[in-house]
Structure 1
Amino acid sequence: AAAPSGHGASPGPTVPAQRGEAGPVLAWLREAVVSAALRAAARPRRAVWRTPLPAVLGLRLFPRAGGVDELALDTALATVTPQVRAAFALRVLEGLGPRSAAPVLAAAGVASPEEALHAAEHLRSIVGAEAEALLHGTEFDPCVVQARPTDLLRRRRRTRLTALVAAALVLSATAGTLVALRPEPPEPTPPVTALAAASARATDPRFLVRTPPERWSDTARVDLTQWPARGERTGDTALLSRALDAWTRGTGGGAGVRVSFTPSTPTTPPAAPPRLLFAGSVDGSAVVLLHDGERLIRYAESLAGRGGQVLELARADDADVTTGAAVAVARTGLGTRFLLAPWIDESAVRDLLRPDVPAAPLPVSGGGLTDPVPQPAADCGRVPALQVRSSTRIVEDHSFLLTDLGELSPAHLTWTPAPGTGAPARQPREATSAAGLAAWARSACTLPGLRGTGVRAVNRWEFARQALPEQAGPATWTCTRADLWNGRGRVTVAWEGPDPRGRPVRVPGATPEDTAACSRFGQHLLAGTYWTAPSGARYYLAAGSRALTGVTADGPVTASVRGQFLAVRTDATGPVRLTGTMPGSGGLPGWGEPDTESGGS
């Protein structure tokens, strides 16, 4: 049969390719089932002849009994309205997105589909990912029941009593009619479940977690969990309540809250009371910083009552002494104010493009709030960075660089110098030395391209230094790796000439979205590019990391050399296929090729 259409036509039934793809029959049947279920739920529960299960003479029918998980899910579903249960079924069982589920709910008579979907998503975050598997089980299958025969002796007694019951019903017909006409008593308020109580506790400012002020100086875990609550409004219950409410409403699409989040950041409401890091008035806004163990949450509202509520979420599940050392509190035309970790003793601002200029001291309030740090110039004429030093009280007395990439947590900058003659493989180190600052001065202008991508740390690795032909000086081959909070890595390979004022030249080739290259799990790299000497002669150059014992070029340029460097004079153009040789392993393809397995040294 064909599903009815809005124009009276009956298109032939089509079966969708996969669950969630709407076809005429499936869409019509889905709306019919949801409408029938909501109509049934709207009937009075004490309606005459209404039975919850099929009735078979001589048999007792009842659903299968589930375990503890099924009982908890059934209890959670019983605490919400039928409209929310319908939205929950469409999202979990049918796999529909919010945009596809809303029209189905509206067609079924739900007055506010968006509110029902928001409540269903909240319920989904509470019951967990196993909800779908439980709902597909036999305990929730309406077509599966258990059957047992009734008690024979009881059946005989019921037969004898049937006549007496019938007579009693006739005599009490009038009284029964009057009773039936009495107004339906109000529905009893469902009992508060453990899940509902936990959700209410998570959004109650009275239960916010507050770390003691000096806990950070005597702990083996130095991260955001050791931040004390700071700011002059940590006792402002009304402000904290608005922040928690905006978190709950905003992540569910609530009106009046502007929400932004870094890639791969969960946007679910709080499942447990979060930790309060800061609450205060900064640059014309009331700001609240929260931490739930995995995410940083920044709430802001204008003190003048304009602009609505702003909510920012960012991942922070791997923060440590460096990546948990500062959090952006407010951004204005003057720059960004940061709240520094309690273990930061010294702070300064420096321009990465000017490594020879000393860092300027950065004033910090008694509560750890800095003066505004300037933003990078649009033309890359200035790339500010924070240079901070940790306290000796945590035995981590060292300075490191942080740069603002437009997110709540600034990115940690490190540097891996080029391999020296006979020196062991080098590891990433802090870029605050003269050599590290000079190295980052050449790569600093690549940092603005990483804004808003969820970057945790950036390491510049100089994997090779090559003597250029015609005694033109040394060239430096670099691999800059941006580690993201979600565990992925973005890599850029570049070539730098002997002029220290020159900008890096990116090595052409496909760049993978996620790679282990230039990390501890990808410690070998080979790259090549064309270069024109000051004399006008054209060369093809290639260089590999320290473990390579040979380089082979095929294509427009054909050559093979021992060692890790190749330089061939050529007038050819076009991509060259490179292969590196390493002891005890197969060939290493050049950077940018589809099957590359490159990395850092």
Structure 2
Amino acid sequence: MWGRGGRQAKGTAARINAERAEAALMEAYPQLVRIAFVALPPALGRHRRVLVAHGLVQRALPGPLGAALPAAGGPPGDPADPGPKPEYAWVRERVLTACLSYGARPRRWPRRLPWPRALRPALPAVWGLRLFPRAGSGDTTSLDRALAAASAPARALFALCSLEDMPKEAARELLTRLGTPPDAAARRDAEQLLYLSARATADLGNASEFDPCSVQTRPTDLLRRRRRRRLAGLTAALLALVTISVLPATSGDGFVGTPSAGDAISADLAPVTDAGRLVRAPGDRWADTSRVDFTAWAPRGARVDDTELLHRALAAWAHPAPGTEVTSAAATTEELPATPPALLYAGDIDGRAVVVLHDGRRIVRYTEPSDGDGTAALDFARADDADVTTAAAVVVSRTARQVRFLTAPWIATAERRDLRRPDTPARSVRVARDGVTEPVARPKYGDCGARPALQLKSSARIVEHHTFVVADLGDLLPAHLTYMPLPGRERPRPPREATSTESLRAWAASACGMSGLRGKGVRSVSMWDFARQRLPEDGGQAVWSCRRADTWRGPGDIEVGLRRPEAAPDADTTVVARDRDTAACSRFGQHVVASTRWRSPSKKWYLLAAGSRAVTGLEVTGDVRATTEEPTLARRAPKDARTQVTADLPEGEQLRPPGSE
């Protein structure tokens, strides 16, 4: 019998036998390692994630063997998962617990101090090699990017459902029993991961990209390793000489030397520091490929053949010298790639030598003073799954007042415009033969003044009449701006470029709020006008909009606002709701509802609410009660009234405003 809390009654507990647990682990070792590999954070990097997955599974046996589990079937509280044997279920729980807690600090451990080495999980020892799972298809690559953005409970929930075929409810109960109950966001992320897995061409259990037991190997940096061996030998000889000379004067006391910090061997070194192995795309590849992104950039700049400069850039990537300023965008690793990167640019800009590289997942910019007086800098930014717009420009120089862009080879013309002045025509920007623009003004974030943006036009060789807008938000890659107009009666309208008069006026009202997006690795920002409402007392028209900022790592932040179309072009939008790390206002969250207080010309306060196109009705509860079968609502309400707005959807579901849950 089972007592409270899922514990087996005294006298009937079946103890796990160590030999049977080891046999279960060995029999299902590839499956357990795959579960650990999927559940671990991808930010570890492929090499370390492979080692950690093997290490956690191999360390699943030590500990308090003899935990009470039923003699057959799944663990208590898991009636929907009767398949696994008790020993396998126990080992699987140990592995999942280790994955969920990996990287977390011990309780009461100071936030800024690292894990003590004694508490870090031991890994298998691999010397002189880097391990990488085999490359997968484009669909599994998209799944891997989504895993990088998901939380640990979401990854664990996905691993159980996809690899173990466990029912969702049973998987949630298992994680809850392990002390990590998946919240609503984790369940939503897991659903998205399951959708991407179902869309993949291969089953996840057979996908080579997620198989840490079938890996490729590459050596570490051979030249640097040889230099370090020579340096270690020289250091040992010097230490021996010093020891011999000091021994007579030490009266028999021993002498202990401190090794230099330069003797440490980096685990991130890879055979990519040879400038002669850099990938160089043909000059016209961008016009003869269906993949118009950074892989189609040909190397440009006056120093693309400067082997010494390119070698210094690669060496700085492998092992930055002391004093090198290294910055990376959110969720961007700094490890070397498995294969040589591609060279995009090498030249002198504003007194600094600049090298731009691309490894298929990241853009890396190396800069150093042209005259040798000053410090070098190394910047990393994610660029996976870039396209004709998000791979259209890279920031190559930025000062306090201006910025220069390196435009893609398919950019025919460049113009600058002020988002705060939508009626002012765009002005031409000079672009050099190597693709570098003249200096363009940066926004002054101290006030809501000008908001410069770059308007680019693609060559007719790839697409006709394609003009789009990007904005510098403090990262290596500018953000792509789009606009989705009010829905029509027939069907939703797709997003479009923010170049029309209507879209520029919408952006003018929200441009000042973009200051909060600086330095967050934003890939694109979309403005969606989802509802129009007539205000009470002949107050005119109001437009409800949702501005979504998508990051390169996946999650996005939103702001819902209300603006008056008849107001001045630079009148600011009134922000009524915000939410972080949400799917709302995207193709995975196509419904939205919001509410706010509004003061009429007669000084009376109203509650305004509006929903997107699919909303079939609104309900207000609390201090004010009202219902309507329309997507908008306006009711008299005190300014400080407490209310809750709920929207009805055709499928019978209900929707609440962003941030209300």
User: What TM-score, normalized to structure 1?
Assistant: 0.67
Question: Residue 617 of structure 2 contacts residue 648 of structure 2 at CA under 8 Å; is this kept in 1?
Answer: yes
Aligned mate of 2:336, from 241, 246, 269:
269
Measure the CA separation in 2 of the matches of 1:80 and 1:357: 59
Measure the CA separation in 1 of the matches of 2:215 and 2:544: 61
| Aligned CA distance change for structure 1 residues 526 and 80 (closer, same or farther; 3 Å) | same
Aligned to 1:95: none
Aligned mate of 2:454, from 363, 369, 386:
386
Question: Residue 556 of structure 1 contacts residue 573 of structure 1 at CA under 8 Å; is this kept in 2?
Answer: no
Aligned to 1:240: 310
Shift of 1:276: 0.4
Which aligned pairs between 1:337-352 and structure 2 lie closer than 5 A? 337-352=404-419
Shift of 1:318: 1.6
Shift of 1:217: 0.8
Give SS of 1:279's match: strand
Aligned mate of 2:497, from 418, 430, 435:
430
Measure the CA separation in 2 of the matches of 1:277 and 1:69: 35
Measure the CA separation in 1 of the matches of 2:455 and 2:637: 46
Which aligned pairs between 1:397-436 and structure 2 lie closer than 5 A? 397-420=465-488, 422-436=489-503
| Aligned CA distance change for structure 1 residues 303 and 75 (closer, same or farther; 3 Å) | closer
Give the AA of the match of 2:471: T
Larger Rg: 1
Give the AA of the match of 2:277: F
Aligned mate of 1:461, from 528, 533, 537:
528
Give the AA of the match of 1:245: A
Is 2:547 the partner of 1:480? yes
Give the AA of the match of 1:417: P
Measure the CA separation in 2 of the matches of 1:380 and 1:562: 39
Shift of 1:367: 1.3
Shift of 1:286: 0.4
Measure the CA separation in 2 of the matches of 1:545 and 1:28: 51
Question: Residue 419 of structure 2 contacts residue 453 of structure 2 at CA under 8 Å; is this kept in 1?
Answer: yes
Aligned to 2:631: 564
Measure the CA separation in 2 of the matches of 1:474 and 1:398: 32
- Cα offsets for 1:170-200 (capped at 9, x unmatched): xxxxxxxxxxxxxxxxxxxxxxxxxxxxx23
Shift of 1:375: 0.1
Which aligned pairs between 1:202-601 and structure 2 lie closer than 5 A? 202-250=272-320, 254-378=321-445, 379-420=447-488, 422-501=489-568, 502-508=571-577, 511-594=578-661
**CA RMSD, Structure 1 to Structure 2 (Å):** 3.3
- Cα offsets for 1:441-462 (capped at 9, x unmatched): 1111111210100000000001
Measure the CA separation in 1 of the matches of 2:261 and 2:643: 55
Give the AA of the match of 2:476: L
| Aligned CA distance change for structure 1 residues 246 and 28 (closer, same or farther; 3 Å) | closer
Question: Residue 477 of structure 1 contacts residue 543 of structure 1 at CA under 8 Å; is this kept in 2?
Answer: yes
Measure the CA separation in 2 of the matches of 1:75 and 1:462: 53
Measure the CA separation in 2 of the matches of 1:560 and 1:412: 39
**Structure 2: 5+ residue stretches without partners:** 1-63, 65-97, 109-114, 126-211, 230-255
| Aligned CA distance change for structure 1 residues 358 and 29 (closer, same or farther; 3 Å) | closer
Shift of 1:117: 6.1
Give the AA of the match of 1:503: D
Give SS of 1:246's match: helix
Shift of 1:571: 1.7
- Cα offsets for 1:425-446 (capped at 9, x unmatched): 1111001011111111111111
Give the AA of the match of 1:205: A
Question: Residue 473 of structure 1 contacts residue 498 of structure 1 at CA under 8 Å; is this kept in 2?
Answer: no
Measure the CA separation in 2 of the matches of 1:339 and 1:77: 31
Question: Residue 296 of structure 1 contacts residue 316 of structure 1 at CA under 8 Å; is this kept in 2?
Answer: yes
| Aligned CA distance change for structure 1 residues 409 and 469 (closer, same or farther; 3 Å) | same
Identity over aligned residues, as a percent? 46
Question: Residue 203 of structure 1 contacts residue 270 of structure 1 at CA under 8 Å; is this kept in 2?
Answer: no
Measure the CA separation in 2 of the matches of 1:73 and 1:385: 45
Measure the CA separation in 1 of the matches of 2:524 and 2:219: 44
**Structure 1: 5+ residue stretches without partners:** 1-14, 38-67, 85-108, 124-198, 595-601
Measure the CA separation in 2 of the matches of 1:568 and 1:591: 21
Shift of 1:374: 0.5
Question: Residue 442 of structure 1 contacts residue 500 of structure 1 at CA under 8 Å; is this kept in 2?
Answer: no
Shift of 1:122: 2.0
Measure the CA separation in 2 of the matches of 1:554 and 1:494: 22
Give SS of 2:280's match: coil
